Chain A
Amino acid sequence: MVEFLKRKKRLEDKIDEYLDTVEKGADIFKNGISCYFAEGVEKLDLCLAAISLLEGKADDLRRGIETDLYTQTLIPESRGDVLGIIESTDHVMNLMEETLQKFSVERPEISGELHPLYTDLGNITSSAVACMVQAGRSYFRDLTGVRDNINKVIFYEKEADRLADKVKRLIFCSSLKLCEKIHMRNFAVHIEGISDEAENVCDRLAIATIKRYL
C-alpha cells in the first residue's frame, strides 16, 4: 500500500512538472511575440531556443507519464482521460513552438500600426494557455477549481477570436499585395489557433471532471 501511494505521488509530481513546463512555455511564447515586434528577430530566436528546450523536456515527461499510467496500473479508472488530456496539452505546447519558429523562419513584415494588436493577441493566447494549465492542475488536485479555470480559458479564447478578426479586417482593408496580406493573416491565425487548442483541452477536462463526479 505504501509503495502504491509512493508511486502515485511520483506520478503526480511528474504531471505537475509537465504542467510547469507548459506554463513556462506560455510565458516564453508571450515574450517571443512581443520581442519580435519590439526588438527584432534576434531576440525572438532566443525565446525560440528556450521554448524548443522546454518542448523536448515536455515530450520526455509526457512519454514517462504515459508509461507509468499503463505499467503501474495507477488511476486505472481514468487513465484514458488523463492520457487524452496530456496528449492534447502537448499539442498546445507544440503549436507555441511552431508559431515562434514560423516567425523566425518566415520573418513576416507586419505593418507598424498592427504591432500592438499582434502583441495583445500573443498575450491573450498566453493567458488562455496559463488558465488551461491551472484547470489541468485543479483536475488532479481539487476538482472544484476546474470549472472556474475553464471559464477563464473560454473567455480568453473568445477575446482572441475577436482580436484576430479585427486584425484580419484591418489587413484586408489595406492596399498591400494579396500575398503580403495572406502572410500577415496567417500569423494571426497561427496565434489564435493556440487558444482554440487550449479550449479543446478544456472540453476534454470538463468531460473528464464530470466522469470523476459520477
Chain B
Amino acid sequence: MNPMTGGYGRGGNLAEEVEAYLDMIVRGGLLFSQGIKFYLEGRGDEFGQRLEILAKLENKADVQLKSLEGLLFYNREEREWRGDILGLIENTDDVINGMQKTLKEFSAENPAIPPVLHDGFKELGDLSSRAVELMVAALRAYFRNHKMVRRHIEQVMLLKGSTLKAAERLKRRIFGFDIELDHKFHLGYFAHKIEEIAEMAENVCDRLAIATIKRYSS
C-alpha cells in the first residue's frame, strides 16, 4: 500500500481531500466540547470565539464536501463505491452541522444551567466529542486499513451507550430538581441536543459497517 495515498490506489488527490475533510470533523468535535466547557464556566468571550471558529470550519467543510463530490464523480477507481462514500461523507456532514447548530443554540437561548448540573453537561459534551473522534478513526480505516473498521465501530457503539446513560442520568437530575417545569424543558432540550451528536456518529458507523462489508467481503 502506498503510504502517501493510503488505500486509495492512484487517487492521491481524492485521498488528500478526504483526509482534509476528516481533519475538519475532528477539529469540530474538539471545538464543540471546548465550547460547552467555556459556556458552563461563564467564559462568554472564549465560548463565542469557539462558536465562530466552528461556524467557519463548518462552511469550509461544506465547500470541501462539494469538491469531494466532484472528485468522486470523475474518479474511476472508486466508481463502484462512490454511492457509499458519498453517503458516508454526507452523513458525516450532518455531525459537524449538528455540533455547530447546538453551540449556536446555546448562544441564542442562553440556558441557565444550575452549577450542580455543570459536571453532567460537561461529561456529555466530552463523550459526544469523543464519539465523533472515533467515528472519524473508523472512516479513515475504511480507506486505509479496513481490518480496523470493525474495532473502531465497536468503540463508537460503546461510547454511544455511555453517552445515552450519561444523558439519562442528567435528565433524571434535571427533572428531579426543584425548578419550574419550563426550565426543566429547556435544560432537558440541551442535554438531548448534545446526546444527539453521539447518535449521529453511530448512524454514520452503521452505514460504514455495511459499506465495509460490501466493499471488502466479496
Contact = CB atoms under 8 A, between A and B. Distances in A.
Interface stretch (B67-75, B123-131, B206-214): B206-214
Contacts of A6: none
B172 interface: yes
Interface in B190-218: 206, 209-210, 213-214, 217
B210 A83 contact: yes
A183 B213 contact: no
A204 interface: no
Interface residues of B, number: 16
Nearest to B170: A105
A66 B171 CA distance: 33
Interface in A94-137: 101, 105-107
**For chain A, which range describes its interface: under 10, 10 to 19, 20 to 34, or 35 or more residues?**
10 to 19
B172 A105 contact: yes
B73 to A, nearest CB: 22
B217 A179 contact: no
Label chain B's interface by main secondary structure. Answer: helix
Contacts of A107: 175
A108 B184 CA distance: 12
Interface in A167-214: 177, 179-180, 182-183
A106 B187 CA distance: 12
A71 B210 contact: no
Contact of B213 (A67, A87, A101, A180): A67
B210 A179 contact: no
Contacts of A83: 210
B209 A179 contact: no
Interface string B126-154: 00000000000000000000000000000
Interface of A: 63, 66-67, 70-71, 83, 87, 101, 105-107, 177, 179-180, 182-183
Given A70-B210, A70-B213, A70-B217, 16 more contacts: A63-B209, A66-B213, A67-B209, A67-B213, A70-B214, A71-B213, A87-B206, A105-B168, A106-B184, A177-B181, A179-B180, A179-B181, A179-B182, A180-B181, A182-B185, A183-B185
